[in-house]
Amino acid sequence: MNSKETQELAKLLAKLPGIRSIELDDVRSMAELLHEFPEIGSIEVRGWFESAVVITRTGMPVGGAVPVPPPVVYAPGLVMGAPSGAPAPAVAPAASALKEIKSPMVGTFYTAPEPGAEPYVKVGSRVSVGQTVCIIEAMKIMNEIEAEVAGLVREVVADDAQPVEFGTVLYRVDPNG
């Protein structure tokens, strides 16, 4: 899929009724596109005030020779193309002794069960396996995320009420703490 085809796809997807609802046929069409074009990593339809369609490409080039550009974003009033700006700062590697609790899905990360409530865990909290550490909201469903490691929370990596991707590090836990 070349850049022009990607832009046309983004424009087509932007016409989907993402603000209030989405039709099952539209979801099926997007799933077929993901299957047909393996270089598309995901298609995200954003509604309400940030109406947009975001198409991300996989990090694996198709055919093994073409570098993969950054995500293509289409929003009404914006110009199609790769987002500009400085590259994201490199994250320092975690100390080998710390274990990471990662996001098992794409969604919005919440540290507490409701706004204004105490967070499930914070730096210095002791967690046990199976204990709820946060919520990730995906498609209006609140998913409780449980710790897969016991220990002392040394770092809260993700920001509250911010989007996270699959595999995003949420917490770093010291199993010996």
How do residues 105-139 score in pLDDT, each as one tens digit? 999 999 999 989 999 999 999 999 999 999 999 88
In this prediction, residue 20 carries a pLDDT of: 47
In this prediction, residue 126 carries a pLDDT of: 94
Supply the CATH classification number for the domain 99-174.
Answer: 2.40.50.100
In this prediction, residue 97 carries a pLDDT of: 85
Low-confidence ranges of the chain (pLDDT < 70): 1-3, 10-24, 39, 41, 44-96
In this prediction, residue 41 carries a pLDDT of: 67
Q: Give CA–CA dist 2/25, Å, rounded.
A: 25
Two tokens at 100? 């990471």
Q: Give CA–CA dist 176/16, Å, rounded.
A: 50
Two tokens at 105? 């899905």
In this prediction, residue 32 carries a pLDDT of: 78
Whether the model clears a pTM of 0.85, i.e. scores above it, the answer is: no
In this prediction, residue 18 carries a pLDDT of: 46
**Rounded to 5 degrees, what are φ and ψ at 156?**
-100, 110
In this prediction, residue 149 carries a pLDDT of: 92
Two tokens at 65? 């020779």
Q: How many CA atoms lie within 13 A of 125 on its CB side?
A: 19
Give me the residue spans of the domains in the chain: 3-74, 99-174
